[in-house]
Amino acid sequence: MNFIETGLPGVTIIEPKVFGDDRGFFFESFHAQRFADHGIDIRIAQSNVSRSARGVLRGLHYQWPRPQGKLVQVLEGEVYDVAVDIRRGSPTFGRWTACVLSAQNKRLFWVPEGFAHGFAVTSDSAVFCYHCTDVYVPEADAGVRWNDAELGIDWPLAEPVLSAKDAVAPLLSQIDPGRLPTCRQPGGSGCL
Ligand SMILES: Cc1cn([C@H]2C[C@H](O)[C@@H](COP(=O)(O)OP(=O)(O)O[C@H]3O[C@H](C)C(=O)[C@H](O)[C@H]3O)O2)c(=O)[nH]c1=O
C-alpha cells in the first residue's frame, strides 16, 4: 500500500498493491495496522454502496455532531472526489482537495472526520463504496452547497444531477459556526 499526502493535511490517497494473474486481480483495500502506521487509526462502523449515472453529483455532505471519517473507493466507473475542510479553527478551513477515483486506478481516498465530502460521476455510471468511522445519524446529516463560490471547487460538471436536498444546501458562510466541527489541534489535525 502506498500512502500519498494531499494539499490538505490528513486527507490521503491510498494506492493498494494489486496482485494480477490470469484469473483477474486481488488487492487489500483496508488494513488497520498499515493505516495506523500512516496516522489513519480508524474503526469502521458502517459501509455504504451507491450507484450513480453520468453527471450525478452527490454532496457536499458531513455529519455534525457524530462526524464520520470516510474511506472511499470506486468499484465501477470513475468519479471526481472532493474533500473540504470545514473545521472551525483549522488553518486550512474552507480549502478543498480532489482526487480521481476509478475502477481502473483502484485508488482509495481517506476523508477525515470534520471534512465535507462529495463526488461527481465522470463515466457512464459509477458504483461507489465507502467505509465510515461512525454510523449514519439522520438528524446529524448536513451539507454545503456544491458550487459555493467561496470554496471554488473545480468540478468537471457545470450542471450536475442533484438530489433535492443537495440543490438547496447552504453556503458555508450561511452555516451557524456552532453547527460545524471544530479543529482539535491548533496544528490542524482531528476534530471535536
Ligand atoms: C448516507 C445514508 C443515507 N441513507 C438513506 C437516506 C436516504 O433515504 C437515502 C439516500 O440518502 P442520501 O441522498 O443522503 O445519499 P447520498 O446523496 O448518496 O449521500 C451520501 O453521499 C455523500 C457523497 C457522502 O459523502 C455521504 O456519505 C452520504 O451523505 O439513503 C441511509 O439509510 N444511510 C446512510 O448512511
Can you give the pLDDT at residue 191? 77
Spans of the chain below 70 pLDDT: 186-189
**How many angstroms does the Cα of residue 22 sit away from the middle of ligand 1?**
37
Ligand 1 atom at minimum distance from 141 CA? 29
Which one, of 40, 107, 117, lies nearest residue 83 by Cα?
117
Residues classed as catalytic = 61, 130
Q: What is the pLDDT of residues 43-72, one digit of tens each?
A: 999 999 999 999 999 999 999 999 999 999
Q: What ipTM is given for this predicted complex?
A: 0.97
Q: Which secondary structure element, helix H or strand E, spans residue 15, and what is its range?
A: strand 12-15
Can you give the pLDDT at residue 190? 73
- In terms of C-beta density within 10 A (0-12 exposed, 13-18 middle, 19 or more buried), how is residue 96 classed? buried
Q: Are 59 and 165 in contact (CB under 8 A)?
A: no
Is the CB of 131 within 6 Å of ligand 1?
no
Is the CB of 118 within 6 Å of ligand 1?
yes
Give the rounded percent of residues in the chain with a pLDDT score beyond 90.
Answer: 93
Ligand 1 atom at minimum distance from 163 CA? 13
Amino acid identity at 20: G
Can you give the pLDDT at residue 188? 60
Domains of the chain: 2-18+28-175 (2.60.120.10)
